[in-house]
Amino acid sequence: MVKVIEELPPHKRKRFNKNKKKSWRKKTDISEVESRLEEKRREERYGGPVEEREDTELMFLDVGDDSASKTGQNDKPVIMEYTVDKVPAESGTKTGKNVMLKPSKKGKAVKILTAHQFINGLPGSKIPVKPRIKEGTLTVAMKKKAKLQAKDPKVGKKARKVLKDFASHRKRIQSKKKRENKNNISNDLWNDGTDAVTLECKKRGVEDSFIQGIAEYYSTQMKLRPVKVPKNRYIPPSSLDTVQAPAAGQSYNPTYEDHQQLLGRAINQEKRKKKGEIWVKRQLTDYFPSKDKAPTEETYLSEMSEGLPRAGEDEDEEEEENMKDGDEAVTVTSRPKTEKKTKKQRKKEKKEKVAQVKKLEKKKERIRSNAVYRIKTLKKDIEDAENLTKIRIASRLARKRDLMSKPRRLGKLRYRPEDIAVQLGDELPDSLRRATPAVNLMEDRFKNYQRRNLIETRVSVKNTKRLKKVVKRGHREALDEIEKITPENC
């Protein structure tokens, strides 16, 4: 038998998360709040809340039809009428000629448009913006002031004097500024205690601890703070001369001693260069043997196992000894056996620890109390430490001065001095007309910038990528045809 369900089960309320702002916006019912706000806006449109409005704004006294007749207003709709200037002769003239009628001076009733009735506001509503006072109108404050001046004429004199003093003070400040600009007078605003902000703060009785912060804040907000120049702005990076004088041996007509001295320097420089090349060759090329002399895996194992006993021989010897002696195998464990301490032993250890701690504290206290007698020694130690600091500072400054005359390592490459330009005895010119420059001027200036720490050491990068040349297919076919051509075919 089929059971007929007449009533549907109650709809189960859908559950949702309430810890997300998205669900607050979607699932929350705000119809009641919106209706309340709409009611509030409607009341504002009609002159504000009813509780705040006066009775005269809400109710009026109805005295009958006489009031409407007196004011000239009726409930009947206004009919817009018009007349023409020219009318025919039959309209009441005796002459029978057209007569020009003058326009009526009486104002015509104009119907108010209902479409824009909210522009001027509803009757009884408050003015949202205070209207500007027109010229010639007196406010309540102006009327009060006029009454006070009428009672006591000194009040007006005082007000006029204040305005006059203010105008003269302003004029005096402007003239002072003009004089300062004309004479190029500039006060040091950052001198402690002389700037206008500090003086004003002191005048108002601000605490000294806050004055500096107020002055800094004012200067940063008004953009009066000058740019802070770093300490090393005007310190050159090197103490070397911009243009160094050449050596005496580089002259076109040097003396024998100067020329030999320069030649010796060039020889020593070349020796150091050769020595460096040999060292690189020994450390890189000669350090690694050739392929036929390189060690193999077998030679490496035999070399590393030299002097060690072999595994097979040792095991056989140990088995033979065990068989002869007939001793039983004994297992040895790494963990030693520990016996459990008694309560008496633990108490004794605890007392010993406490006594040891007290003994150390007494010793520290004794050392601290005896430090009074070590004042002379401590003073001497402090003086020695101060002297050592002074010596270190002096050595550090001397090292800085020494580094100023040397090229620094600004990049990943080390500075390498250029080769000494020297001419041999047979290459020296016999006159100034035949003298030729020994170095390139561009390279010399470039090295000079590196020596004076103006630019980092650089090396010209060469393009090591090899370009592959390929002949196009169409060109290749044309070249093959050209190669096949012989004088006979021509």
Relative to beta strand 99-100, strand 86-87 is antiparallel
* Residues sharing a CB contact under 8 Å with residue 158, sequence separation 6 or more, in sequence order: none
Q: Helices in 184-329 by DSSP H: which ranges?
A: 196-203, 208-221, 256-280, 297-304, 311-325
Of all residues in the chain, what percent carry a pLDDT higher than 90? 20
Please state which of the ranges 96-110, 215-229, 447-461 shows the lowest mean pLDDT: 96-110
Please give the structure tokens belonging to residue 104: 């009526």
Which of 111-120, 149-158, 271-280, 481-490: highest mean pLDDT? 271-280
Say if residue 117's pLDDT is above 70: no
Say if residue 315's pLDDT is above 70: no
How confident is the model at residue 388, as a pLDDT?
97
Q: What is the largest CA-CA distance in the chain?
A: 178
Q: What's the predicted TM-score (pTM) here?
A: 0.40
pLDDT grade for 135, boundaries at 50, 70 and 90? low
Cα-Cα end-to-end distance for the chain: 114
Say if residue 93's pLDDT is above 70: no
**Which amino acid is present at 192?**
D
**Which amino acid is present at 76?**
K
Q: Helices in 405-484 by DSSP H: which ranges?
A: 441-451, 473-484
Phi, psi of 100 (to 5 degrees): -85, 120
Say if residue 486's pLDDT is above 80: no
How confident is the model at residue 391, as a pLDDT?
96
Distance CA 331, CA 92 (A): 156
How confident is the model at residue 88, as a pLDDT?
46
Task: Taking residues 121-140, report their average pLDDT.
Answer: 66
CB atoms within 10 A of CB 279: 10
pLDDT grade for 333, boundaries at 50, 70 and 90? low
How confident is the model at residue 90, as a pLDDT?
47
Q: Which of 178, 177, 180, 215 is nearest to 196 (CA)?
A: 215
Q: Which comes out higher in pLDDT, residue 163 or 365?
A: 365
User: pLDDT tens across 390-424, in order?
Assistant: 999 999 999 999 999 999 999 899 999 999 988 88
How confident is the model at residue 351, as a pLDDT?
93
Please state which of the ranges 219-233, 301-315, 320-334, 335-349 shows the lowest mean pLDDT: 320-334
Q: Yes or no: say if 266 and 418 are a contact pair by the CB < 8 Å rule.
A: no
Task: Taking residues 459-482, report their average pLDDT.
Answer: 83
Please state which of the ranges 174-178, 181-185, 286-290, 467-471 shows the lowest mean pLDDT: 181-185
Cα dihedral 46, 51, 56, 57, rounded to 10, equals: -10
Task: Taking residues 91-120, report their average pLDDT.
Answer: 56
Q: Which comes out higher in pLDDT, residue 264 or 314?
A: 264
How confident is the model at residue 278, as a pLDDT?
93
Residue 59 vs residues 64, 123, 198, 465: alpha-carbon distances, Å? 15, 12, 64, 101
Please give the structure tokens belonging to residue 203: 């005048």
**Which amino acid is present at 457?**
T
Say if residue 449's pLDDT is above 90: yes
How confident is the model at residue 11, as a pLDDT?
67
Say if residue 176's pLDDT is above 60: yes
Q: Which of 77, 97, 78 is nearest to 87 (CA)?
A: 97
How confident is the model at residue 361, as a pLDDT?
94
Task: Taking residues 180-203, report their average pLDDT.
Answer: 64
Please give the structure tokens belonging to residue 452: 């004076």
Task: Taking residues 33-47, report their average pLDDT.
Answer: 86
